[in-house]
Amino acid sequence: MTRATLAALLIFEFGEPRMTLSGHHSRPSRWNRSTRWRRGWALTVTVAAVGAGALTGAAPASAAPSGSPWVVSLGDSYISGEAGRWAGSSNASTTPADALGSTAYFDNASGTGEQIARCHRSKAAEISIGDGVSSANLACSGARTATFTDSSGYFKPGLDFYSDASGRQGQAAALRELARDHRVSMVVVSIGGNDFNFASVVQSCVTDWLTSSSWWPNYCNDDASVKGNFTSSNEAAVSAKIARALGNVRTAMRDAGYADGDWRLLVQTYPSPLPTSTAARYPQSGYSRQSVGGCGFWNRDLDWANGTALPVINRAVRSAVTSAGLTNAAVLDLSTAFNGRRLCEKGVGLYEEVGLTSWRQAGAVDHTEWINQIRTVSTVFGPYTIQESLQPDFVSGNLSQAA
């Protein structure tokens, strides 16, 4: 299959913005890093559950409910559990990496389907590693700061108070409803990446790689449609949207009877899903970088994604937390969380490349990727979907095994 054919399939199949790219930092020990993340998450949840009352804030209209603590996740695909079905990747068979099976994203009460189609709230979402603290996942793959319906007709609730006659509501409205009946001690948010139109950026980068050659590469980082997302003016505009979304979270909690000191807000930055050019295990020439690895970016674009896109996106997130003026908020820096296990990174590989046959095998978590491939042809007949591309995969399971 030619590069042009792959590019055509990519353009045809790629959905609404669902993905976020991030940056490159030093590479710590993989085992120690994942252990620290899991323990840090559990510690953060525990502190929120038992110590949030030490903070001060505005008085609520009514009292917050009593009971055991809950942690709630809001936002987009990087917290919803998108791609959580898969623990690593294999081009030989779906079996080695299929950790959760066809019901991976079924989150309704009966376990028979999704509450909101294509939100992909998986059982492997990071919110599932709270070490005994109850959790609720209200995030939605593809979500932006504001509610919208994508070009395929899928509802994408934002961090707002949207509601309609059919009962659909924004994530802030859903949080308010949940918090009235459950003692929410922490809200964890990942939002803003899709407001930078990152899925279209990824599509541009892969298409440019597929439709040009190593002797005359067409880089995406200088495409006008890509550059426009990362200007200082757009960074400021997106940061303002994120700040408003965070303000909506505070309003939801106040409406539910909470003082600002009754709960904590933890806002995540985005992790890097792709390595820099020197850490990529496939050459940029030939076809293997996409046909085998599922990471069709030119070297210069890999470095741009890690060195430019991440700082802009994560700076917008951090600035929003500051400008929102939430006294009970903190930032969880995940920018290097997957370093050493990123898609196409040296040191890890596909199951057939590292001599393993199942995600359950001892050591599999340390030798396989934690980011799902950018898939084109393999999504035509399933079971893969294009929206799973370039997403952290079986997160809660990976962290538990690594610890």
- Mean pLDDT of successive 10-residue stretches along the chain, which has 403 residues: 46 36 32 40 41 47 88 98 98 97 97 98 88 92 98 98 98 99 98 96 97 97 98 99 99 99 98 99 96 98 98 98 98 98 98 98 96 86 92 78 59
Looking at residue 152, what is its pLDDT? 95
Cβ contact 347:354 at 8 Å: no
The dihedral of CA 343, 346, 348, 351: what is its sign? positive
Looking at residue 21, what is its pLDDT? 33
CB atoms within 10 A of CB 154: 18
Looking at residue 9, what is its pLDDT? 41
- Of 95, 9, 21, 13, give the one whose Cα is nearest residue 343: 21
- Of 24, 154, 23, 134, give the one whose Cα is nearest residue 77: 154
- CA–chain centroid gap for 143, Å, is 10
User: 104-131: buried (b, 16+ CB within 10 Å) or exposed (e) per residue?
Assistant: bbbbeeeeeeeebebbbbbbbbbbbbbe
- Among all chains, which residue has been given the structure tokens 């600002």? 260
For the chain, which domains are there? 3-402 (3.40.50.1110)
